Chain A
Amino acid sequence: MARRTGAVTGPVAAGGVVVLILAALLAVMSRADWPVTLGTADWAVLRFTVWQAFLSAFFSVLFAIPVARALARRRFPGRGALVTLLGAPFILPVIVAVLGILAVFGRAGWVSEVLGMFGVAPLSIYGVQGVVLAHVFFNMPLATRLILQGWQAVPAEQFRLVGQLGLPPPMVFRIVEWPILRQVAPGAFALVFVICLTSFAVALTLGGGPRATTIELAIYQAFRFDFDLGRAAVLSLLQLVVAGGAAVIALWVLPPLALQAGRDRVRRRWDAPAPWVDAAWIGVAAAFLLLPLLAVTISGAIGLWQMPLSVLTAAWTSAWVAAVSTFVLLIMALPISAWLAQARWGGGETLTLLGLAASPLMIGTGWFILIYPFAAPVRFALPVTALVNAMMALPFAVRILLPPMRQVFNNYGRLSAGLGLRGISLWRVVLMPRLRPQIGFAAGLGAAMSVGDLGVVALFADPEVATLPLQMYRLMGSYRTEAASGAALVLVALAFGMFWICDAWGRRHVAG
């Protein structure tokens, strides 16, 4: 039989990713003192990392259950918009959300002000509570979508039967909802847990100090403040073991991850009780997600006029870093997906989840060590950022592309082979046109994630070079909150704008 399309380029792209990570790992290992020992501070960092990830996953899932239940059994105006909003944290830059959370829950935030009217002391957000709060902001929507997706997969017949028998809500929960929840919730918990293990930007802005430092943040501090490459190396290895180990364990319980789930039909339900409980949950969730965004928008509109010119320079830098990153992402994701889609072994999606556990700062540290002897790493800050961002988005992109790719090969594989379509022709004539919506969506997601990323760039950059999130962080650090809010508004516009351009490109001329 003929060689399959992507049979060479797929493994080459995947191998490239592995080589980039392995090179970083080897560089890191060469700098660590053997045998590796962990000091008291390292143990504290490890404990905090696992503890905050546990709390974040726990509260995200706990909050998600009633919200998903309400969304699953209610039809109301604005439901579609709310479900779409649940997808927004995927492309919302972390630093922007942090700014919004500070404006609502911070010491001088809205909630503290209201509490002050009743003589209650203002909230203290820095520390574990702030880190967990921000993680719940980002991951509760994800958990909600996963659980909602599970409940929406229940056949309509079951609910008709429930209605016919007149079962009360507790019974419905026991015989219909609980069995699904038991399958989905552990997976959602595991996914959030793994994501939070490698949290950096949230810990950088809301954590810090000896009692609220994640491993990822500790790598950054060892690197930036002490330039202690040995300690950064040890911490990187620790990160690899912890996040990698957790991801491997999580693979067993993870539900399939559909990014656009929950938007379609709502089942007619006969078992829903009086609506006020559901309405309350939906109201709380909407407020929790919308108020921080609203706060950023209001102060950003004022701050737009106080932005230094450096914000616009940084915005331009971010835009092209994201563009390069998206290009690299597609170069890797398309052949890898084509290769996996034709493989007899169907575990490709699962494997990509290992990528979620990859630590950008570990990879960044490794590449800094590799570049350092030969050139000033600062000069490579932006290329390395673009590359690492692409690798971070790769698991999502492959996850988006793989199922439809598999379907195209199923439906049109023989026809294409019979016509001699292979290689470039196959991409041009069949795969690109058929997968255009998914390619656009994946590219948009990659662009938005890259443009909003505050990670490796913080490690490498000097005062001359900055992406917009880094510039925003610097403004926040010098207490220029309004200018930072203005920058946040620009950043949000950039992230959603780039997402929208890619996604709209994908959806235009959708194939018949």
Chain B
Amino acid sequence: MRGDADMLRVEQLRIVQGDFALSADFELPRGRRVAVIGPSGAGKSTLLNALGGYIDIASGRIDVDGEDVTAAPPDQRGIAMLFQDGNLFPHMTLAQNVGLGIRPTLKMTEAETAQIRDALHQVGLEDFADRKPGDVSGGQQSRAALARVLVQAKPLLLLDEPFAALGPALRTEMLDLNSQVACDAGATVMVITHTPEDAVRAADDLIFVEAGHVHPPRPVSEMLAHPPEALRAYLGR
């Protein structure tokens, strides 16, 4: 960790995909939880995938925890990311899936095995360690993915609507669990969401993405109380 620097600094970022272009320039202070909101097709997922290193950027610079990671591979950017689906390997047990967050060879020391057990315990899955994803519920799959994020221990966590397929109650529960996990780990969180209620519940700040433009984060309450024109249109007010 490097003292007072912002956790994430995005400078003059530009992504071009065919006709679509996205630009962003913002900072994220350490330990904040940020909801990313905006119409579908506006570029929310594109933004997160670019930060995660999964798609090429046209220009700009990305700093995570004070370090330039613009050209770093996805696993060396200090970022853990949960996708809409495919967060677990179906042929491995939940414990093995969590273990991948510690080391990709899966040869664990005793201490690491204990660490996996703790992580599963923390998300309430201690009894499901040897099950495979196909044998547990959607909510339990999400918990296992969170347990892996926990052992990955990255300072920045990106969530691309991983809980979208869950029912409202379960989604709220998972968002709370996520906040708690992030808080315990001291991680900074960016989470894509569709509803202002989720934003209020799970975030301190709000980033509004609209037609390829990323508005810098502002406190959720302030944004929702005095929404800019485009956000007002999106929220239907």
Chain B residues with CB under 8 Å of A418's CB are 52, 54, 74-75, 79-81
A393-426 Cβ-contact flags toward B at 8 Å (1 or 0): 0000000000000000001101101111100010
| Number of A residues with CB within 8 Å of any CB on chain B | 19
Q: Which of B79, B87, B106 contacts A415 (CB 8 A)?
A: B87
Q: Is the CB of B53 within 8 A of A417?
A: yes
Known: A414-B54, A425-B104. A420 touches B76 (CB 8 A): yes
A434 contacts partner chain B, Cβ-Cβ < 8 Å: yes
- Nearest to B134 among chain A residues (CB) is A512
Known: A420-B104, A421-B100, A512-B135. A415 touches B75 (CB 8 A): no
CA distance A417 to B76 in the complex (A): 10
Rounded to whole Å, the gap between the CB of A35 and the closest CB of chain B is 51
Chain A residues with CB under 8 Å of B83's CB are 414-415
B59-74 Cβ-contact flags toward A at 8 Å (1 or 0): 0000000000000011
Chain B residues with CB under 8 Å of A412's CB are 86, 89
Q: Is the CB of B53 within 8 A of A1?
A: yes
CA distance A414 to B82 in the complex (A): 10
CA distance A512 to B132 in the complex (A): 8
Known: A2-B74, A512-B133, A512-B135. A419 touches B87 (CB 8 A): no
CA distance A27 to B89 in the complex (A): 49
Q: Which of B73, B76, B132 has the most CB of A within 10 A?
A: B73
Rounded to whole Å, the gap between the CB of B193 and the closest CB of chain A is 20
Instruction: State which residues 496-512 of A face B: CB under 8 Å.
Output: 511-512
CA distance A414 to B152 in the complex (A): 15
CA distance A109 to B29 in the complex (A): 87
Chain A residues with CB under 8 Å of B75's CB are 2, 417-420
Known: A419-B100, A420-B104. A1 touches B91 (CB 8 A): no
Q: Is the CB of A511 within 8 A of B74?
A: no
Chain A residues with CB under 8 Å of B86's CB are 411-412, 414-415
B73-111 Cβ-contact flags toward A at 8 Å (1 or 0): 111100111010011011110000000110011100000
B35-70 Cβ-contact flags toward A at 8 Å (1 or 0): 000000000000001001110100000000000000
A291 contacts partner chain B, Cβ-Cβ < 8 Å: no
Interface SS of B by simple majority: loop
Chain A residues with CB under 8 Å of B76's CB are 420
Chain B residues with CB under 8 Å of A465's CB are none
Chain A residues with CB under 8 Å of B90's CB are 511-512
Chain A residues with CB under 8 Å of B80's CB are 418
CA distance A420 to B54 in the complex (A): 12
Chain B residues with CB under 8 Å of A419's CB are 75, 100-101, 104, 152
A210 contacts partner chain B, Cβ-Cβ < 8 Å: no
Rounded to whole Å, the gap between the CB of B5 and the closest CB of chain A is 23
A430 contacts partner chain B, Cβ-Cβ < 8 Å: yes
CA distance A419 to B83 in the complex (A): 13
Chain B: interface size category: 20 to 34
- Nearest to A510 among chain B residues (CB) is B91
Chain B residues with CB under 8 Å of A421's CB are 100, 104
Q: Is the CB of B54 within 8 A of A434?
A: no
CA distance A512 to B89 in the complex (A): 9
Q: Is the CB of B89 within 8 A of A414?
A: no
Rounded to whole Å, the gap between the CB of A5 and the closest CB of chain B is 12
A433 contacts partner chain B, Cβ-Cβ < 8 Å: yes
A425-436 Cβ-contact flags toward B at 8 Å (1 or 0): 100111001100
Chain A residues with CB under 8 Å of B81's CB are 414, 418
Rounded to whole Å, the gap between the CB of B72 and the closest CB of chain A is 9
Q: Is the CB of B91 within 8 A of A417?
A: no
Chain B residues with CB under 8 Å of A414's CB are 49, 52, 54, 74, 81, 83, 86
Rounded to whole Å, the gap between the CB of B95 and the closest CB of chain A is 14
Q: Which of A417, A428, A511 contacts B54 (CB 8 A)?
A: A417
Rounded to whole Å, the gap between the CB of B184 and the closest CB of chain A is 21
- Nearest to A410 among chain B residues (CB) is B86
Q: Is the CB of A429 within 8 A of B104?
A: yes
CA distance A276 to B49 in the complex (A): 60
CA distance A497 to B231 in the complex (A): 66
Q: Is the CB of B53 within 8 A of A430?
A: no
- Nearest to B52 among chain A residues (CB) is A418
Rounded to whole Å, the gap between the CB of A98 and the closest CB of chain B is 43
Q: Is the CB of A415 within 8 A of B54?
A: no
Chain A residues with CB under 8 Å of B101's CB are 419
Chain B residues with CB under 8 Å of A417's CB are 53-54, 73-75
Q: Is the CB of B89 within 8 A of A430?
A: yes
Known: A1-B53, A417-B53, A419-B75. A433 touches B91 (CB 8 A): yes
Instruction: State which residues 1-30 of A face B: CB under 8 Å.
Output: 1-2
Q: Which of B56, B79, B105 contacts A1 (CB 8 A)?
A: B56
Rounded to whole Å, the gap between the CB of B65 and the closest CB of chain A is 17
Q: Is the CB of B104 within 8 A of A512?
A: no
CA distance A223 to B105 in the complex (A): 52
Q: Is the CB of A415 within 8 A of B52?
A: no
Q: Is the CB of B89 within 8 A of A415?
A: yes
Rounded to whole Å, the gap between the CB of A377 and the closest CB of chain B is 45
Rounded to whole Å, the gap between the CB of B39 and the closest CB of chain A is 23
CA distance A414 to B73 in the complex (A): 11
Rounded to whole Å, the gap between the CB of B85 and the closest CB of chain A is 8
Rounded to whole Å, the gap between the CB of A218 and the closest CB of chain B is 51
Chain A residues with CB under 8 Å of B74's CB are 2, 414, 417-418, 420
Q: Which residues of B contact A (CB under 8 A)?
A: 49, 52-54, 56, 73-76, 79-81, 83, 86-87, 89-92, 100-101, 104-106, 132-135, 152
Ranked 6 nearest A-B pairs via Cβ: A420-B75, A2-B73, A511-B91, A512-B134, A417-B74, A425-B104
Q: Can you list 11 residue pairs at the A/B interface with Cβ under 8 Å?
A: A414-B83, A415-B86, A415-B89, A418-B80, A419-B100, A420-B76, A421-B104, A425-B104, A425-B105, A434-B89, A511-B90
Q: Which residues of A contact B (CB under 8 A)?
A: 1-2, 411-412, 414-415, 417-421, 425, 428-430, 433-434, 511-512
